[in-house]
Structure 1
Amino acid sequence: MGIGILAGLYLLGGSLTEVKRGDSVQAADEPRPPAATSAASANAPSLSQGPVDAEYFEKKVRPILVERCQKCHNSQKAKGGLQLDSRAGFLRGGDSGPALNLLPQVLQYEGDIRMPPQGKLPQTELDILLRWLAAGAPWPQDRNPSTTPSPSTPHPQTPARLHWAFQPLQRPTVPSIPAGTPIQNPIDAFVLARLQAVGLNLAPEADKATLLRRVYFDLIGLPPSPEELDAFLNDAHPDAYDRVVDRLLASPHYGERWARHWLDLVRYAETYGHEFDFDIPEAWRYRDYVIRAFNADLPYDRFLQEQIAGDLLDDPRYDPQTGSNESLLATAFWWLGDAVHSPVDSRMDFADRIDNQIDVFGKAILGLTLGCARCHDHKFDPIPSRDYYALFGILASSRFHYGDIGDPRPLERLLDELTRSRPQAYSTAAESRGSGGDIIPPPRPGSAWRLGAKAWEHFGADWRQRWDATGLGLRPTGGEGFPHSGQEAEALSAALRSPTFMIEHRYLVLRVAGRQAQARLILNGLQLIRDPIYGGLAKQIDHGEEFRWLVFDLHLWPGQPAYVELLDNGPGYFAIREAWFADTLPPAETGESVPRPPSAALEKDPHRHRCLEVLETACRNRPRAPVMRDGPGRNERLFIRGNPRQLGPEVPRGFLSLFPAPPVTSSGSGRRELADAVLGPARPLVARVFVNRLWQHHFGRGLVATPDDFGAHGEAPTHPELLDWLAEEFITSGWSIKHMHRLIVRSRTYRQASQLPTAQAELARRVDPDNRLLHRQNLRRLEAEILRDAVLAVSGRLDRRLGGPSVLPYLSEQQVGRGRPPSGPLDGHGRRSIYLAVRRNFLPALFTAFDYPPPFTTVGRRSVSNVPTQALVLWNNPFFHEQARYWAERLHREQPQASLEQRLQQMYLAAFARRPDPEEVQAARHFLQQFPPTESLTAWTELAHVLFNSKEFLFIP
């Protein structure tokens, strides 16, 4: 087969190395090889750990240098001639030579010089520095190398309002363009004005076939079929293209295409990574939520409200098809990060997880690198550390919940029926249980003990006031009431969470009853991973109606914040009678049982019995997902140099100080106020960031080339007036994403060819070599997932169903390790790539070869490398061989009597949206003749594989 491929590539013009149609004038936007790394390859950074860049330096490296090195190696006291308080000093090195070459040996105590002299660095710090050095030691240019601002000093940066990204929006005047200039909308006027100022013009419009293929891939991520191409080419109506755009925006595949871009921003994955790559249960439901939101053109401001605080909105949305609470489901956004299985330092792990949430929130929504302010005031932007910890307190006051996201209204109606029938059943039950004590069910909203789910909502009495008065509750006195999650129906799920407390005693003691329930101690707010190796934080409740002691031993975590939660995922129940702290173990068991309505009571009330049966049925298979729930508001103290064990002053919860917003005054986390601030004073920045992302995905480069960094260290916009006009138009349109798509893809700027006329090419090379002024369209490579989807579409194996649980990815025999799942089918059952499970430790080789981003933080612009591995994957990966065979079989099946020219024409239309020219027909004929007539299917399979390997298949001109 390899010989056939080589022959095909030769005969078809070496198509791995050139694009048949639409070559670019220059290669600025084409893939480039990755930058060379330092010679210290033994410590080369792993892709799975995320990038080693300026942000990595600010968040991880600089705090170590300040703490461990700069006391002796600074501009005033440079021992050994080495200064490590500035980039210039590091690059210059010391008396012994360049620091980059010597530090790995010095830090690892491998030579005569050993630093720090008082003892080798802890392994975690050593790993950070070695990884940084191996990556070439990126160190951003210092504004003032001699100073390192501390959280307590005034921030030295230029006033915020002087930076373009933080200024209010003012709708710019659309430039005046001479009559007769071919423009479609104001976008073209802004672009053309810049071009004409340097003597350039827009490139000619792309031919119809190229344009159709481009807009199909951009809007739905699939190629047009030969039939769709013919229909467009034969449609001479002036609005033929506009109607295609409207049809694609209305396609359900539009949501699949654009959801993937958002998932890159929120580091979407379905496992936690680390050692065992445990599942994030039901994470795929968030993916489907995003697809539905894009398809429905959910206004972007509402979309963001739901991501940040969907559980706190007064008007939650429900999906009419699935019945899921869309607003609640959106908050899974916060929980998609990686997680350590069993952290040795739980407090540091807590800080790192919240840091990831702040980092993703800042980059994805605000286009700001907020994580740089964890250890010190931001070096470039007006973001003091206090702002970072104001956000930290909001997120630390929120709680993870894996719970019911179904529409509660059907259950409410059934519970209303039960409420109306309750008196008779309860009186009978009370007679039969004697003096066991009243069940006084739970809580009013706003009390410190917090509930989740419908099991609680139809009770009137309140048992919690005497518990709340002392924090966790101690031994309840003055009554016998207690919460019972199964009092109405065991099928109902429920959660009960205590206030946050500081661990000051050896034991936490609960007296509980129940079955198929769980009690968990949530240490530092984020105990997400099951079966911790240090043990004891999760305990099953499955001993039935008898109250028994359940004891948590807390001696390993004195002084750390925690709360306790009881979970009933239905069917099952729990009841809790007491909760208190102690320095000794509890007394002997009492043998007391939880009073429950006996079955005899139900038999005397057939109506209630029927209601319960209906309720049990309604509770089965209700959707569940990881979501955010509010906890009691609690301010965080500032971490000195980012260390959670070195605490500074308390910081009130709130938003960034550069955007004036009311302080958080609610008793909850403050996420609702955060959402209001993001869409209030920060609205201009939010709009600029998102329209820039749209622009980038349509042109290959944003108006701001650093889409995740609109701060002073990012790039300035190439067309600032156009950016502001788009942002203002976005807001005015009601934050309609589809409206912005229409504007962009209908513009004459978007519809340009990627190839320039010879007369303009030389001038363009001189005045706009990187095409920043958009004198032509950019040549763009298909992303890994879209390449795979295009292959499936062309071969005829694409399954176009929407949504549902993910398909396990295909894994080769070489992909081994802990947590390895069973390999999925080679073609993923034909599902689109967005429905392949994203397992952090086991990403498909096809994806990683084509720059699929490791899902650890926001990636607003994927890398586009050009390395031999990609050609080898296209050539050797069994997926391409299999699909080439399916494509050949499809041709034989659908066109059994077709001539060679007819089949070849169909193949070229499907793969390239064009017909083959005579030379290509002749080359294909000669290629096919190399195979005996008995191997006709093999010959066409080889030819199909050659077309998959062509650069024209891989690129969008």
Structure 2
Amino acid sequence: MLITNRFSELKTCCVALSIIAVTAASAVADSGEDFFEEKIRPVLIKRCYSCHSEASQSSEGGLTLDARSGWQDGGDSGTAIVPGDIDGSLLITAIRYDDENLQMPPDQALSEREIADFEHWVRLGAPDPRTEAVRLVNADVPSDPVRGREHWAFLPLSDQPLPAVTDTQWPLTTIDHFTLKELEDRELHPVDDADRRTLLRRVSILLTGLPPTLEEMESFLSDDRSDAYERQVDRFLSSFHFGERWGRHWLDLARYADSNGLDENFLFREAWRYRNWVISAINDDLSYDRFLRLQIAGDLLPYESIEQRDEQRIAAGFLVMGPKVLLGNNPANQRMEVADEQIDTIGRAVLGQTLGCARCHDHKFDPVPTRDYYALAGILSSTEVMEQRYMLGQQRVMEQLIGLGDEGAQLDDEYEAYWREREALKDRRQRATEILELLKAGKLEEFAARVDRDDLVIAEVAKDTEAAIEQRITAQQEMVTEFDRLWNSPPSIPPRAMSPTERSEPADEHIRIAGQFDKLGDQVPRGFLQVLTNSEVSIPAEQSGRLELANWLTNTESGAGNLAARVLANRIWYHLMGRGLVRTVDNFGRTGETPTHPELLDHLANLLIDSGWSTKSLIKKIVMSHTFVLSSSHDNSAHAIDPENELLWRAHRRRLDPESLRDAMLLSGEQLDLNPMDSTVWYLGDQATAVGANTNRRRTDFPCRSVYLPVIRNDLPEIFEAFDFTDPHAATGMRPKTLVAKQGLFMLNEESVINIAEKTATALLANETLSDDRQRLDYLYELILNQTPADADRDHLLTFLNDFKEHAAPTSPEQPRSPEQQAWSMVCQALFASSRFQVLE
């Protein structure tokens, strides 16, 4: 707690916090210790430690508050708390502001909720679980999970009252109070709101990944109802395209791909089922806690129908999706590598933590000791995500596939058995043919000599020496024909999904010395991160612990749920606003950045939890805020104080991602098929890239939305490579952002861009409602840019069109394109290549 500089108030403040009596009870209940960790210590850290802790090297009034012994030893004054006695405790008097000479914190009172928490704590006997041993832990050891709880990301969520602002008319939502307060504290004010065209384009692309159509724009511009904007937001949130857009954000984190990548880039033929499940789950606004639970332990959850069972298994494909080294990998090493990849993914995607750093040693920056890493590794290494399957002529360890439907397991077994036994079938067919030739040649003695050895490939009638030779030949011919049929008619690939299962014998893992799989250290019980765990972990010996892990991740009674809420709220803010409140969206650790608006971040996280973990609810609250609808206009005075716009005095400009860029071009040319797709890799061989005898290469000519295009690791679509698509090998919450020459060259020279421009021009010229070039140009601006052209732009382009049509020659007879067609194609391509198209204001 902050204290004033005046000596008398300093003395009074120290009296209030100097000594905590510890004789209230001989033993403190676990519930009391948990209460201290969740409610009391966070307030002490936030409001007291700057003046009363060893870490800050400050002990004003001789008092330190970051260890129990500091409270017990006291400072320069007397007793502050009488355990169990609220009215007799000076601490409670001070935080209530009951005495004008004893008010703490002196700068701003605690909230009513915080005061009530301190009162309850005193009634419990002021329990403080921090022992002397904890107090003496070296503060320079970053992996200490107890000290680590003081890091901002691991604190319980605060519940602060809305900040008071001067311009009370500006806030439209609770969010705006937090942003405006920060601006007013620096004597700044937000810029004006975005115009309606800019706003509709912005919210349409951010929520659906598609620009508004001409009809949608016209409808919005002519709607003068007070809730016109909210109606558009609701329409976008209920659109199927919302799931395609926001599902892609999660697929980045899930390291989604249609192939394994790495050493042998085998096809993930069934990955599309997980992709489409994510899109459907986002559209259904599946609560985030359920969303996570299904992906980590969906195969373990109860179900009421085969359809529900299959959906849950498909969701759990999240654990199988990662890249794996398949060739020449020791099975024990592979098991640990797979677990490491899963730990790293869950850590980054859900908790914003770099947990993989603790595989070889205690984390060098964050409170994650190696024991915690292997506590998680025991859970995931007790999970099976690989299986032996027949592939390219031999048995290989591949991603695990589970049969779907009523007969899924049986059909899967039959399919694998066929390919496992195919070489044997070839041998049987050959021997049956040889037997047939012996019968046809009348070589009955040789036939008789082979009956015992080849009994299984000889027809029963063919063995009958009493039957006519013609009957025997016919019977054997039928057997050969059946073998031919089996050889030429392999079973269809049954409906399957990538999904994990429990290992037959779950087990705790040993620490691996220096991370080496074959150098075992101590065995560690399966469990979770100590820095986010307040109670004992109980995992049944016969289970992996995945279900408990899934529940723990969003349990708001533990620190994990609060952290998960902060991380998700920040991700949503990042995707909508162009920059996270924590700019390092995948790293909430000590090497990441601190929040620019910590109170707002906690407010968003609380909104998320209170809504039942509804992502749509939080998205709507943000896009309905005044902060969201600001223009991106420049303001010299604000820029001088806040050049990076951390205070949100304007909207951040951002470039379209490659998916939105491609989809918008196809939509302009009336080439985009808005129907969802299943697999877009069905035509590929088992090896996803064109190597060896496999000459097929992934296609990008599908007119579908870009979220459905093949994501082949090491062979992404060209537009993805050029415009900073995610790295599908790892969980990525923030894609790289580059501005390089090859992107401009791509838009000017890429054949697909040229083709779309030509088709857009063709559709434009075929529009009979447009009678002249001026109308066509205005229409094209509306279609591609959602704007009307400035007079100077219109005049410049009309001059270009006239000059080009006058001097250009028709193209070849094989592909006749008139000068007019050529000119308009170039105008379309120029607009596609412009910053007005590629940059979202």
Q: Distance between the aligned counterparts of 1:936 and 1:740, measured in 2?
A: 49
Q: Distance between the aligned counterparts of 1:898 and 1:289, measured in 2?
A: 47
Q: SS of the residue aligned with 1:516?
A: helix
CA distance change for structure 1 residues 175 and 360 in 2, over 3 Å: closer, same or farther? same
Runs (5+) with no aligned partner, structure 1: 1-148, 412-452, 456-491, 497-513, 520-538, 546-588, 594-618
Residue 911 (structure 1) aligns with = 784
CA distance change for structure 1 residues 802 and 821 in 2, over 3 Å: closer, same or farther? farther
Residue 295 of structure 1 aligns with an amino acid whose one-letter code is N
Residue 834 of structure 2 corresponds to residue 950 of structure 1: yes
| Structure 1 residue 348, shift from structure 2 partner | 3.4
Residue 938 (structure 1) aligns with = 822
Contact kept? 1:664, 1:670, Cα under 8 Å: yes
Q: Distance between the aligned counterparts of 2:364 and 2:566, measured in 1?
A: 23
Residue 702 of structure 2 corresponds to residue 829 of structure 1: yes
Q: SS of the residue aligned with 2:521?
A: strand
Residue 651 of structure 1 aligns with an amino acid whose one-letter code is V
| Structure 1 residue 516, shift from structure 2 partner | 2.1
**Superposition pairs for residues 595-606 of structure 1, below 5 Å?**
none
Residue 704 (structure 1) aligns with = 582
Residue 872 (structure 1) aligns with = 745
CA distance change for structure 1 residues 360 and 541 in 2, over 3 Å: closer, same or farther? farther
Greater RCO (Cα-Cα under 8 Å, separation 6 or more): 1
Q: Distance between the aligned counterparts of 1:165 and 1:495, measured in 2?
A: 51
Residue 553 (structure 2) aligns with = 678
**Superposition pairs for residues 890-909 of structure 1, below 5 Å?**
890-895=763-768, 898-909=771-782
Residue 730 of structure 2 corresponds to residue 857 of structure 1: yes
Contact kept? 1:264, 1:855, Cα under 8 Å: yes
Residue 495 of structure 2 is aligned with which of 616, 620, 623?
623
Residue 253 (structure 2) aligns with = 265
Residue 570 (structure 1) aligns with = none
Q: Which runs of 4+ in 1 moved over 3 A?
A: 153-158, 315-319, 344-350, 401-408, 492-496, 539-545, 619-622, 807-810, 815-821, 823-826
CA distance change for structure 1 residues 956 and 158 in 2, over 3 Å: closer, same or farther? same
| Structure 1 residue 918, shift from structure 2 partner | 1.5
Q: Distance between the aligned counterparts of 1:695 and 1:820, measured in 2?
A: 44
Residue 305 (structure 1) aligns with = 293
Q: SS of the residue aligned with 2:829?
A: helix
Residue 520 of structure 2 aligns with an amino acid whose one-letter code is L
Residue 838 of structure 2 aligns with an amino acid whose one-letter code is L
Residue 538 of structure 2 corresponds to residue 663 of structure 1: yes
Q: Distance between the aligned counterparts of 2:306 and 2:188, measured in 1?
A: 51
Deviations 1:269-310 (A, max 9, x none): 111113442101211111000000011101110000001100
| Structure 1 residue 912, shift from structure 2 partner | 1.2
Contact kept? 1:242, 1:746, Cα under 8 Å: yes
Contact kept? 2:142, 2:365, Cα under 8 Å: no
**TM-score, normalising length: structure 2:** 0.69
Runs (5+) with no aligned partner, structure 2: 1-136, 388-399, 429-452, 458-490, 807-817
CA distance change for structure 1 residues 154 and 252 in 2, over 3 Å: closer, same or farther? closer
Residue 690 of structure 2 corresponds to residue 787 of structure 1: no
Residue 296 (structure 1) aligns with = 284
Q: Distance between the aligned counterparts of 1:157 and 1:219, measured in 2?
A: 39
Residue 949 of structure 1 aligns with an amino acid whose one-letter code is A
Residue 748 of structure 1 is aligned with which of 615, 626, 639?
626
| Structure 1 residue 368, shift from structure 2 partner | 0.6
Residue 367 (structure 1) aligns with = 352
The share of aligned pairs that are identical, in percent, is: 39
Residue 177 (structure 1) aligns with = 165
Deviations 1:51-87 (A, max 9, x none): xxxxxxxxxxxxxxxxxxxxxxxxxxxxxxxxxxxxx
Q: Distance between the aligned counterparts of 1:809 and 1:237, measured in 2?
A: 51
Residue 249 of structure 1 is aligned with which of 214, 233, 237?
237
CA distance change for structure 1 residues 823 and 324 in 2, over 3 Å: closer, same or farther? farther
Residue 821 of structure 2 aligns with an amino acid whose one-letter code is L
Q: Distance between the aligned counterparts of 2:305 and 2:176, measured in 1?
A: 38
The count of corresponding residues between Structure 1 and Structure 2 is 613
Q: SS of the residue aligned with 2:418?
A: strand
| Structure 1 residue 785, shift from structure 2 partner | 1.4
CA distance change for structure 1 residues 845 and 817 in 2, over 3 Å: closer, same or farther? farther
CA distance change for structure 1 residues 225 and 515 in 2, over 3 Å: closer, same or farther? closer
Q: SS of the residue aligned with 2:626?
A: coil
Residue 521 (structure 2) aligns with = 648
Contact kept? 2:402, 2:409, Cα under 8 Å: no
Farther off after superposition, 206-215 or 898-907: 898-907
Contact kept? 1:332, 1:625, Cα under 8 Å: yes
| Structure 1 residue 173, shift from structure 2 partner | 1.2
| Structure 1 residue 891, shift from structure 2 partner | 0.7
Residue 951 of structure 1 aligns with an amino acid whose one-letter code is S
Q: Distance between the aligned counterparts of 1:286 and 1:203, measured in 2?
A: 43
Deviations 1:659-715 (A, max 9, x none): 225232240211011112112221101111001000000111111111111111111
| Structure 1 residue 894, shift from structure 2 partner | 2.3
Q: SS of the residue aligned with 2:499?
A: strand
Residue 327 of structure 1 aligns with an amino acid whose one-letter code is Q
Residue 150 of structure 2 corresponds to residue 165 of structure 1: no
CA distance change for structure 1 residues 897 and 721 in 2, over 3 Å: closer, same or farther? closer
Q: Distance between the aligned counterparts of 1:666 and 1:375, measured in 2?
A: 26
Cα RMSD for the two superposed structures: 3.1
Residue 773 of structure 2 corresponds to residue 889 of structure 1: no
Contact kept? 2:206, 2:575, Cα under 8 Å: yes
Residue 587 of structure 2 aligns with an amino acid whose one-letter code is D
**Superposition pairs for residues 517-528 of structure 1, below 5 Å?**
518=420
Residue 637 of structure 2 is aligned with which of 734, 751, 763?
763
Residue 217 of structure 1 is aligned with which of 182, 196, 205?
205
CA distance change for structure 1 residues 493 and 850 in 2, over 3 Å: closer, same or farther? closer
Q: Distance between the aligned counterparts of 1:807 and 1:789, measured in 2?
A: 20
CA distance change for structure 1 residues 493 and 365 in 2, over 3 Å: closer, same or farther? same
**TM-score, normalising length: structure 1:** 0.61
| Structure 1 residue 803, shift from structure 2 partner | 3.0
| Structure 1 residue 245, shift from structure 2 partner | 0.3
Q: Distance between the aligned counterparts of 2:593 and 2:305, measured in 1?
A: 38
Residue 39 (structure 1) aligns with = none
Residue 5 (structure 2) aligns with = none
Residue 500 (structure 1) aligns with = none
Deviations 1:290-343 (A, max 9, x none): 000011101110000001100011247876xxx772211111111222222413
Contact kept? 1:275, 1:818, Cα under 8 Å: no
| Structure 1 residue 389, shift from structure 2 partner | 0.8
**Superposition pairs for residues 303-702 of structure 1, below 5 Å?**
303-315=291-303, 325-400=310-385, 402-404=400-402, 406-408=404-406, 492-494=411-413, 515-516=417-418, 518=420, 623-632=495-504, 633-660=506-533, 661-680=536-555, 681=558, 682-702=560-580
Q: Distance between the aligned counterparts of 1:211 and 1:691, measured in 2?
A: 22
CA distance change for structure 1 residues 310 and 542 in 2, over 3 Å: closer, same or farther? farther
Q: Distance between the aligned counterparts of 1:844 and 1:329, measured in 2?
A: 25
Contact kept? 2:666, 2:672, Cα under 8 Å: yes
Q: SS of the residue aligned with 1:354?
A: helix
Q: Distance between the aligned counterparts of 1:156 and 1:909, measured in 2?
A: 58
Residue 775 (structure 1) aligns with = 649
Residue 449 (structure 1) aligns with = none
Q: Distance between the aligned counterparts of 1:391 and 1:847, measured in 2?
A: 34
CA distance change for structure 1 residues 253 and 818 in 2, over 3 Å: closer, same or farther? farther
- Structure holding more helix per residue: 2
Q: Distance between the aligned counterparts of 1:708 and 1:340, measured in 2?
A: 25
Q: Distance between the aligned counterparts of 2:784 and 2:330, measured in 1?
A: 53
Contact kept? 1:404, 1:622, Cα under 8 Å: no
Deviations 1:908-956 (A, max 9, x none): 0111111112211111111111223641111111111111110111000
